[in-house]
Structure 1
């Protein structure tokens, strides 16, 4: 006589869709697209279902591949549907938890697992994150970092194309020598000019990429009339929250911080102490969508908006779009339309059979299943990664400064 199944053991539509999806392989691919590497990761399951993820630690891709080689045997045979448990398993799998290399690897795995689970349920990824909270994802755009002499004209062009959130950079035409004090006045003048050109209905910011000290950042801010900038991004390094608190006392310009943060714990002191106003969370660095959603929730409780960092490839963009659709406290998603050669938008078209496309200045709410990414895997071997790293800037006296 057959023993009836207990309710917890009975097959349901959900269990039928998710049965058998145990992780069989984690396959990293370092590919050269445009003028930089992308580290994309394919997580495969025994059922044949697979998902795509991306790592955000640009310039240190080989280190992330090494981490992934440690994680693969740990995860083989694990149920790909148990995303939260896998996150904890990977994070706690060694005595030395976290860190940017390990978190970049975990980010790629986590994004790919969301892709797998959404495919299994035949829904977009954002449905796994609580469902849609908006029909479209607003974006912000930047002038080209190496076109300071054309930045004013580019800002006008972007404004005329419809963008109302625009980011500027200091003069980065010289990728060898950078003297912060010499750039402060030039960058301040550009900000004043662009604000005068575009008027009051544009959200205007500048990204210093942590190239300044507290004193230098204060000098820059104090050269700007009140209301010139709506945010200043990464003016100083982020290791010491107290340094940002000191700068907070010297300017009232909102801060956008966090593209380098590799966990909710790194965001925590900034959120709890009211240091900043925009979280530049990067789903490919912070620990994937699992951790990004926790950062968004922490931020919401303190009235901090998320403004995701998105400098990589289509997988990062797709994951960030689904994240943006699902969270309430969302400001704008970074996109790049002025430096396609750097970010590989044109080259991506051959490798990525499906990828997100802008509809004017927004991304529409995704309609397909999973992330909405498909890759021509036959091309992966034809675009191998290269030894690449960002410029190593020095001052005129030869001392190293920040890129």
Structure 2
């Protein structure tokens, strides 16, 4: 029997650096940074090249930042030394170079790195990111604003504040979404329907009105809710049920004609395709910090365009996510409104100007399309390193019988 040992499998090949191995655009460091902003954490990613240029990205998997940080650290093992300009290839290597592809943790990490690489490339070339994506198709990016008021009167007051300030699209949440640990889905529905009917009666047909159900309901509960309101009350209903089963949405589609806004949980074009091909979403709510950054978001945008579905991007995070979302929204032809969480009725503190001294600027209800190189965001690293990060866990809701239900 031969004593010769078989060659070891090469599990960690040398990084691919392309033809210009000594180019200063090579990645020198990829650093995840957890920062406390407002009442929640944000996971930023700082990518530095060998010539000292910095790009910023952000991950969208709120509440599970530790898992994403570990994945980014793993990716760094084979990304250091690579050419930061080869963004599409880096995306493919991160996604394909393991047996178990995909999933929200992996794509949240890929998203942050992809966004940072686009920020880097824009800065390197002296152009805004939207120029790298084909150029802006609009001069401004319209937004929709939300109210989380807890009574019909307060909701109407918030909507008036928003419409007086120029917003034409407003989203509400059922006032039954409170801070209690006990949530009975059916108990919230009659009041939520009454609130929406009151808003429609007060503001007429000119207002685009939607509601976010936060995927807390079953098909039967969501159908009952839709049938409580006169036709034309709602222009869209967002995430009434969870997204794992498109067939469930197909069933709900037969029970209501209210347009669906779905997609913030999607982590790939493959997930989005099931809804687009079956006509199960009328607004694509993709999140650029979850779905795979600019590289994947543009593919979903094109697929959506084929089906005459407009993007209504999810944007619940901080200035880096907002900037990336503005650049994406500026370049796609099929666009409706970008979510905003810094309206006159919802100042959550996620866009702290001390931590982020340069960020996207608004003109009434619209974001201005930026012309600064890269994303157009600056981060105060000294200040973010001094923030106190606490564990943030979403409420663990239960029904009155003690069983667990969706948050």
TM tier, shorter chain?
A: over 0.9
Secondary structure in structure 1 of the residue aligned to 2:30: strand
Q: Which residue of structure 1 aligns with residue 146 of structure 2?
A: 142
Indicate if the aligned counterparts of 1:351 and 1:379 stay in contact, CA closer than 8 A.
yes
Q: C-alpha deviations, 1:257-282, integer Å up to 9, x for none? A: 01011111110110011111001010
CA distance in 1, matches of 2:116, 2:206: 38
Indicate if the aligned counterparts of 1:107 and 1:284 stay in contact, CA closer than 8 A.
yes
Q: Which residue of structure 2 aligns with residue 91 of structure 1?
A: 95
Q: 1:215 aligns with which of 212, 220, 229?
A: 220
Residues 1:309 and 2:302 are matched in the alignment: no
Q: C-alpha deviations, 1:301-326, integer Å up to 9, x for none? A: 01111100000000000000000000
When the two chains are superposed, the root-mean-square deviation of aligned CA atoms in Å is 1.5
Gaps of 5+ in 2: 1-18
Q: CA deviation at 1:184?
A: 0.8
Indicate if the aligned counterparts of 2:146 and 2:346 stay in contact, CA closer than 8 A.
no
Residues 1:391 and 2:395 are matched in the alignment: yes
CA distance in 2, matches of 1:93, 1:389: 31
Indicate if the aligned counterparts of 1:26 and 1:41 stay in contact, CA closer than 8 A.
yes
Q: C-alpha deviations, 1:211-231, integer Å up to 9, x for none? A: 110000000000111111000
Residues 1:232 and 2:232 are matched in the alignment: no
- In structure 2, the CA distance between the partners of 1:145 and 1:386, relative to structure 1 (3 Å rule), is farther
Q: CA deviation at 1:44?
A: 0.7
Q: CA deviation at 1:100?
A: 0.4
TM-score, with normalisation over the residues of structure 2? 0.92
Indicate if the aligned counterparts of 2:149 and 2:158 stay in contact, CA closer than 8 A.
no
CA distance in 1, matches of 2:48, 2:224: 52
Q: CA deviation at 1:20?
A: 2.1
Q: CA deviation at 1:146?
A: 5.4
CA distance in 2, matches of 1:289, 1:394: 37
Residues 1:179 and 2:187 are matched in the alignment: no
Q: Which residue of structure 2 aligns with residue 382 of structure 1?
A: 386
Q: Which residue of structure 2 aligns with residue 169 of structure 1?
A: 173
Q: C-alpha deviations, 1:148-178, integer Å up to 9, x for none? A: 6621211121111111000011121233111
CA distance in 2, matches of 1:19, 1:198: 58
Indicate if the aligned counterparts of 1:148 and 1:173 stay in contact, CA closer than 8 A.
no
Q: 1:27 aligns with which of 28, 31, 38?
A: 31
Q: Which has the higher helix share?
A: 1
Secondary structure in structure 1 of the residue aligned to 2:44: strand
Secondary structure in structure 1 of the residue aligned to 2:190: helix
Q: Which residue of structure 2 aligns with residue 126 of structure 1?
A: 130
Q: CA deviation at 1:147?
A: 6.2
Residues 1:361 and 2:355 are matched in the alignment: no
CA distance in 2, matches of 1:59, 1:145: 24
Secondary structure in structure 2 of the residue aligned to 1:66: helix
Q: Which residue of structure 2 aligns with residue 42 of structure 1?
A: 46
Secondary structure in structure 2 of the residue aligned to 1:28: strand
Q: 1:62 aligns with which of 46, 63, 66?
A: 66
Q: 1:340 aligns with which of 347, 358, 361?
A: 347
Indicate if the aligned counterparts of 1:354 and 1:374 stay in contact, CA closer than 8 A.
yes
Indicate if the aligned counterparts of 2:246 and 2:274 stay in contact, CA closer than 8 A.
yes
Gaps of 5+ in 1: 1-14
- In structure 2, the CA distance between the partners of 1:381 and 1:339, relative to structure 1 (3 Å rule), is same
Q: Which runs of 4+ in 1 moved over 3 A?
A: 145-149
Q: 1:51 aligns with which of 38, 52, 55?
A: 55
Secondary structure in structure 1 of the residue aligned to 2:35: strand
TM-score, with normalisation over the residues of structure 1? 0.93
Indicate if the aligned counterparts of 1:352 and 1:376 stay in contact, CA closer than 8 A.
yes
Give the aligned length. 385
Counterparts of 1:309-328 in structure 2, within 5 Å, are 309-328=314-333
CA distance in 2, matches of 1:244, 1:168: 21
Q: 1:245 aligns with which of 236, 245, 250?
A: 250
Greater Cα offset, 355-364 or 379-388: 379-388
Indicate if the aligned counterparts of 1:30 and 1:384 stay in contact, CA closer than 8 A.
no
CA distance in 2, matches of 1:148, 1:28: 42
CA distance in 1, matches of 2:204, 2:118: 42
- In structure 2, the CA distance between the partners of 1:148 and 1:62, relative to structure 1 (3 Å rule), is farther
Q: Which residue of structure 1 aligns with residue 334 of structure 2?
A: 329
